[in-house]
């Protein structure tokens, strides 16, 4: 099963409110990623977990948090949503330690902040 | 500047014709992946290449094994269902994908 699951598929949030997005995979992948994609733009890496180590991109460091309570789950947390957070959020996973670098993507969560 | 330059940004094809998309990299890349975005916005993986070529049906992808600075996606005998947005994404060696800006492909009868 090469499925990456994301919940919810659609999320409506109010400005200033927190948002929590969930991703899961059962492929025993050691690395999980979160990307943000806006219309007519390339997907942009926000952060990734390699095992239990979180790596956040420098330009999004303060805007997003994440947790990985176990190998299968990874969340993306926005403490106070702004209009600019409206986007598709894509989760992906891969098995890096065995050189299987193919990233498998979930269906995405479409976030709309009003 | 952008590490991944994808071209063309838009492409119109007639059914049955062939064409190619290209991604140039400003630095040496370890691997490349090609995706198609479906109507719901999800990314469907087409190919992963660390070198050489791969083929799947009417699609074929190549990654320059020598200098590792470009990749191509060839579409043979284009069909209506091939329409969509295609992305390349490259890994410079830190397992972080950098995406191109995409190619919007429209196949018409």
Positive or negative, the CA dihedral A26, A31, A36, A39 is negative
Angle at A74 (CA atoms; ends A100, B29), nearest 5 degrees: 35
In B, minimum Cα distance to A46 occurs at: B96
Per DSSP (E only), the strands in chain B are 4-7, 10-14, 19-25, 31-37, 43-49, 52-56, 59-63, 70-75, 84-91, 97-99, 103-108
Q: Assess A50–B contact: CB distance below 8 Å, yes or no.
A: yes
Average pLDDT taken over every residue of chain A: 92
Q: A80 lies in a domain?
A: yes
Q: How many domains does chain A have?
A: 1
Residue A9: strand, helix, or coil: coil
Does the pLDDT at position A58 exceed 60? yes
Query: CB-CB: which of A37, A43, A104 is closest to B45?
Result: A104
Report the CATH number that the domain containing residue A9 is assigned in CATH: 2.60.40.10
Q: Assess A73–B contact: CB distance below 8 Å, yes or no.
A: no
**A50/B43 Cβ within 8 A:** no
Model pLDDT for residues B20-76, shown as the tens digit of each residue = 999 999 999 999 999 999 888 888 999 999 999 999 999 999 999 888 899 999 999
Instruction: Look at residue A98 in the predicted model and tell me its pLDDT.
Output: 65
* Residue B42 distance to chain A (closest CA, Å): 5
* Residue B39 distance to chain A (closest CA, Å): 11
Instruction: Look at residue B1 in the predicted model and tell me its pLDDT.
Output: 57
- Give dist(CA A8, CA A82) in Å, integer: 19
Instruction: Look at residue B2 in the predicted model and tell me its pLDDT.
Output: 65
Q: Assess B87–A contact: CB distance below 8 Å, yes or no.
A: yes
Q: A50 lies in a domain?
A: yes
User: Residue A14: which domain range?
Assistant: 4-95
Q: Give the pLDDT mean for A3-29.
A: 95
Pick from B5, B36, B42, B87 the residue to mutate for testing the A interface (most A CBs within 10 Å). B42
Q: A20 lies in a domain?
A: yes
- Give dist(CA A64, CA A52) in Å, integer: 17
Q: A100 lies in a domain?
A: no
Q: Assess A103–B contact: CB distance below 8 Å, yes or no.
A: yes
B4-108 maps to which CATH number? 2.60.40.10
**A108/B42 Cβ within 8 A:** yes
Q: A73 lies in a domain?
A: yes
Contacts within 8 Å (CB) and 24+ apart, A64-69:
A64/A34, A66/A34, A68/A32
């Amino acid at each position: 099963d090469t499925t990456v699951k994301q919940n919810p598929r659609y999320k409506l949030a109010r400005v200033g409110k927190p948002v929590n997005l969930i991703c899961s995979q059962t492929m025993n992948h050691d690395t999980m990623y979160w990307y943000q994609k806006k219309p007519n733009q390339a997907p942009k890496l926000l952060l990734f977990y390699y095992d239990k180590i979180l790596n956040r991109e420098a330009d999004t460091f303060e805007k997003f948090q994440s947790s990985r309570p176990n190998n299968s789950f990874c969340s993306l947390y926005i403490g106070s949503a702004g209009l600019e957070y409206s986007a598709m959020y894509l989760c992906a996973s891969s098995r890096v330690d065995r050189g299987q670098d193919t990233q498998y993507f979930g269906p995405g969560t479409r976030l709309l902040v009003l | 500047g952008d590490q991944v330059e994808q071209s063309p940004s838009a492409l119109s094809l007639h059914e049955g014709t062939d064409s190619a998309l290209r991604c140039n990299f400003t630095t040496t890349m370890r691997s490349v992946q090609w995706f198609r975005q479906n109507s719901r916005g999800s990314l469907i993986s087409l190919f992963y290449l660390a070198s050489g070529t791969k083929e799947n049906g009417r699609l074929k992808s190549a990654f320059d094994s020598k200098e590792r600075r470009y990749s191509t996606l060839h579409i043979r005998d284009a069909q209506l269902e091939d329409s969509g947005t295609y992305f390349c994404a490259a890994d410079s060696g830190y397992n972080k994908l950098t995406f191109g800006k995409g190619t919007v492909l429209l196949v018409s009868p």
